[in-house]
Amino acid sequence: MVSDALRVAIDATPLLGAPTGVGTFVSGALGELASRAQLELAAYALSWRGRTGLAGRLPAGVAACRVPLPAAAMLRLWAHVDVPPAEWWAGPVDVVHGTNFVVPPTRRAAEVVTVHDLTPVRFPELCTRTSLAYPGLVRRALRRGAMVHTPSETVAAEVIDLLGVPPDRVRAVPHGVSWPSRHLPRAERALPPALRGVPFILALGTVEPRKDLPGLVRAFDAVAAADGDVRLVIAGPAGWGEADLDRALADAAHAGRVCRMGWVDAAVRAALLEGAAVFAYPSRYEGFGLPPLEAMAAGVPVVATRAGAVPEVLDAAALLVDAGDADALAGAIVSVLHASEGRRAAMIEAGHRRVAEFTWTRCAEGLESLYRDAVACGC
């Protein structure tokens, strides 16, 4: 390492367990940050159970710190007192970056906290008990002088407005997009047999209320009535929206044409994205929107809702409808399914142009700039 390199400790807890959108952010950003000569990186995980597995998930050049306390105990402590400080396990660092709403207190290091969205503030009814605690932890970090990273200008504006943060302490740095199929053997990218040769609409994401998958099921009933071949595929981990989705499926006239796949690995995820006729993103609120960008990278037209940062991120490359309007969502999906070859090609090309703007190199450049500004201002 360069002797005067900036020393940064990064929360890599999202790399443990089944991959999520936050895990994709941490993996992509950490991989690119590790290649930057002026940074000296260490990663920690707030997980007692997973504390020994972190090292094997880190890119070369990133040291693993062993945290001596589990996440639940840490969060309870940090909600009331500023101990233990990050230097306890990370050593003498210049910056500590909490990548998922929580940044540890420090003795001297600057603090940066990523706020992915403000669902707990704007839509508390859509949240778990754990996520409802995030705003309090963010506010406490702000009182200590932390700077805020957001993945979009939309969330940055919400943080300034709803949390009262001075604009000069908030920085929007968008995530990058990786297309995994470039690194997977084609044999592994084969679609599940039941979906081969069948047009299908794809939705990816954890089954949680914010994603409004029940609304997509209702929209699919109208689509299926107009198209006897199309299927709906819902892939993603189980979550706290299972009961609502089950009720929607029980009420659906075409539930037999809905395939629920649960969590899928990278190879199946890539195969689904490559094989989809339309990607549907019916969210009620988003701070960024990684799955539709992945669909664009795979050459799949996207239908999404005007929710949170989605219009900012997807811009004119997706067909957008109002959140919660199942009829409009169904109409947009049908229009894409039956689009002319020329229109479909234009949508795919627009998606490729849009996704090319989101790279991990740009993300890492923005984060390094934020780290240096945090140190310079004494935050």
Q: What confidence score (pLDDT) does residue 180 get? A: 56
188: pLDDT confidence band, cut at 50, 70 and 90? very low
How far is the C-alpha of 135 from the C-alpha of 145, rounded, in Å? Answer: 15
pLDDT(52) > 80: no
Residue 123: CATH number of its domain:
3.40.50.2000
291: pLDDT confidence band, cut at 50, 70 and 90? very high
- 150 and 288 fall within a common domain: no
- 141 and 284 fall within a common domain: no
Specify whether the CB–CB gap between 112 and 370 falls below 8 A.
Answer: yes
Q: What confidence score (pLDDT) does residue 112 get? A: 98
Taking alpha carbons only, the member of 156, 147, 269 closest to residue 205 is 269
- 100 and 66 fall within a common domain: yes
pLDDT(204) > 80: yes
Q: What is the pLDDT of residues 139-177, one digit of tens each?
A: 999 999 999 999 999 999 999 999 999 999 999 999 999
293: pLDDT confidence band, cut at 50, 70 and 90? very high
- DSSP state string for 91-131: -S-SEEEESSS-----SSSEEEEE----HHHH-GGG--HHH
- 317 and 260 fall within a common domain: yes
Q: What is the pLDDT of residues 74-123, one digit of tens each?
A: 888 999 999 999 999 999 999 999 999 999 999 999 999 999 999 999 99
Q: How many residues make up the chain in this entry?
A: 379
1: pLDDT confidence band, cut at 50, 70 and 90? very low
Q: Which residue has the tokens 């959140």?
A: 323
What are the φ/ψ torsions at residue 150 (nearest 5 degrees)? Answer: -125, 155
Question: Which carries the bigger pLDDT value, residue 216 or residue 51?
Answer: 216
Segment 213-224 mean pLDDT: 98
- 240 and 310 fall within a common domain: yes
Q: What confidence score (pLDDT) does residue 253 get? A: 96
3: pLDDT confidence band, cut at 50, 70 and 90? low
* Token pair of 141 as six digits: 């970090």
Taking alpha carbons only, the member of 288, 295, 289 closest to residue 270 is 295
How far is the C-alpha of 181 from the C-alpha of 191, rounded, in Å? Answer: 13
48: pLDDT confidence band, cut at 50, 70 and 90? confident
- 333 and 369 fall within a common domain: no
pLDDT(228) > 60: yes
43: pLDDT confidence band, cut at 50, 70 and 90? very high
pLDDT(272) > 90: yes
**Mean pLDDT across the chain:** 92
* Secondary element (H or E) of residue 42: strand 39-44
Asked if residue 1 is part of any domain, the answer here is: no
- 226 and 328 fall within a common domain: yes
- 166 and 185 fall within a common domain: no
- 343 and 318 fall within a common domain: yes
Q: What confidence score (pLDDT) does residue 183 get? A: 47
Q: What confidence score (pLDDT) does residue 379 get? A: 62
| pTM given for the model | 0.94
Q: What confidence score (pLDDT) does residue 187 get? A: 43
Total of domains in the chain: 2
Range of the domain at 164: 6-176+359-376
- 153 and 198 fall within a common domain: no
Specify whether the CB–CB gap between 306 and 286 falls below 8 A.
Answer: no
Q: What confidence score (pLDDT) does residue 70 get? A: 80
